[in-house]
Amino acid sequence: MNKIEKSQHTHNTYDDIDLQVYGREEHNISRKQISDNALKVLYRLNGAGFDAFLVGGGVRDLLLDGHPKDFDIATNATPEEIKKLFRNCRLIGRRFRLAHIMFGRDIIEVATFRGHHQDTEKNISQQSKEGMLLRDNVYGTIDEDAERRDFSINAMYYNIADYSIHDYAGGIEDLNDKLIRLIGDPETRYREDPVRMLRAIRFAAKLDFDIEEDTADPIEQLAPLLRDIPSARLFEESLKLLQSGQGLETYHLMREYNLFQQLFPTVAQQFTEDYSSPTEEMLDLVLDSTDLRIEEGKRINPAFMFAAILWYPMTECAKQLMETRQLSEYDAIMEASNIILDEQVKSIAIPRRHTATIREIWQLQQRLSRRTGKRAYRLMELNKFRAGYDFLEMRGEVEKGETEELAKWWNTFQNAGRNMRQAMVSDLGSSGSKSGYRRRRNPRSKKAKSSQ
């Protein structure tokens, strides 16, 4: 981004908000960078006599010469007025009503300016005793809307009427200084919505910015407030945090501020001061691998990431069950899988379709060591074989020894020709110890032997 100098000719103060207006010639945003569908919505709202602004992350990313994923719009039109203007509109949301304008798969989100939730005349909002916003359907002016936004770099509005940028909280200055700064009193804002703590970390990692001192100070202490957030919302947030391309950096920042520990309490039990436990090694491996896949444009599956993150807490739980309840390894792993996943979904509501895949990946770790006869061929035909093998390979990097040898065997077997595969399986049959699987002795055959 080219540094934008402060414009002096327009300056108004609204309570804590300090408005700066940057004319078309004073910033680098061009309409060519804005999606055609977003422009259609902006122009139609403006043509109908309403204010229409591109807002938030879209403006921020355009100023940073990036490519916004979403183009969100704010207006003084109510959701019902927006719906009258657009036949392809549907209204969503209970906490705050939003209009979604549908262009095939492309959705442009339009929000009515939000007002202060203390406004008794328009008040349809509700707060908990702790100050958390539970419902927030209060409409207001653009100035009030700016005050309600979380970070200064998200409180910039691109005006389609004259192509100017309205910067309400020194956002452009903070972009130039590479700072994440909350608008208003940080503790109050975090108590209103504890997820703002996660957003501060996510933007810092995504943009490679520092978190401003006052914004950072309360986070570690207030981190436990995340336990009051619905687990379904935290699932969505966890994907934004760990599967957006900066997962490894985000995890380290979250951990530093005591946030990761709130989302993954069973994982946090295995944290060490020097980051040396198998759990911590696996976290670094899987998040680095996820970041790389995103960079290369490859598909990612949340289930694989969660399977890797929770694997060692699960095996530790299984080990305890084997010792305390004398369960077999198979039964202990099945039981431990239930315990760990049941515990995890209390904080992050991982959907059932993903927990089913997590279980399959975990169960394959046992099955992949059983390769004699036709087993190896059958395993390769399984739907989740590739995910199971990829995870085995990661475990090999962490555990070394037999696990690493098993991963190498499977790597060779997959890439070998028919004759080579047959030889590899035959070799296992002639030396059972290499199979990594010890067959249970049949009690009846033992009796038969002794009777001979």
Strand-pair partners of 91? 99
Residue 435, judged by CB atoms within 10 A of its CB (0-12, 13-18, 19+), counts as buried
Q: 243: closest CA among 340, 149, 354? A: 354
The one catalytic residue in 61, 136, 145, 150 is: 150
- The beta strands (E) that lie in 6-129 are given as 11-14, 17-22, 52-55, 72-75, 89-92, 98-103, 106-112, 125-127
Structure-block tokens of residue 28:
């680098």
The region, left, alpha or beta by phi > 0 then psi within -120 to 50, assigned to residue 104 is left
CA dihedral 364, 366, 369, 373 (to 10 degrees): -80
Q: Is 291 a catalytic residue?
A: no
Contact (CB, 8 A) for 242 and 251: yes
Q: 387: closest CA among 415, 414, 352, 360? A: 360
Distance CA 376, CA 421 (A): 9
Tokens 């369960």 — which residue?
327
Structure-block tokens of residue 316:
């530790």
Q: Is 70 a catalytic residue?
A: yes
Strand-pair partners of 159? 53
Q: What is the per-residue pLDDT for 206? A: 95
Q: 214: closest CA among 249, 181, 263? A: 181
Give me the tens of pLDDT residue by residue for the chain, a chain 452 residues long. Answer: 555 544 443 433 334 468 999 999 999 999 999 999 999 999 999 999 999 999 999 999 999 988 898 899 999 999 999 999 999 999 998 767 899 999 999 999 999 998 875 443 444 445 555 555 444 467 889 999 998 899 999 999 999 999 999 999 999 999 999 999 999 999 999 999 999 999 999 999 999 999 999 999 999 999 999 999 999 999 999 999 999 999 999 999 999 999 999 999 999 999 999 999 999 999 999 999 999 999 999 999 999 999 999 999 999 999 999 999 999 999 999 999 999 999 999 999 999 999 999 999 999 999 999 999 999 999 999 999 999 999 999 999 999 999 999 999 999 999 999 999 999 999 987 654 443 434 344 444 444 444 43
Q: What is the per-residue pLDDT for 165? A: 96
Pairing of strands 133-136, 125-127: antiparallel
Distance CA 132, CA 227 (A): 12
Pairing of strands 89-92, 98-103: antiparallel
The one catalytic residue in 51, 70, 119, 143 is: 70
User: What is the radius of gyration, based on Cα positions, of the chain?
Assistant: 28
Give the N- to C-terminal CA distance of the chain in Å, as an integer.
86
The one catalytic residue in 61, 72, 136, 167 is: 72
Contact (CB, 8 A) for 174 and 208: no
Q: What is the per-residue pLDDT for 12? A: 38
Q: Is 72 a catalytic residue?
A: yes
DSSP state of 163: -
Residue 245, judged by CB atoms within 10 A of its CB (0-12, 13-18, 19+), counts as middle
Tokens 């997590």 — which residue?
358
Distance CA 343, CA 356 (A): 15
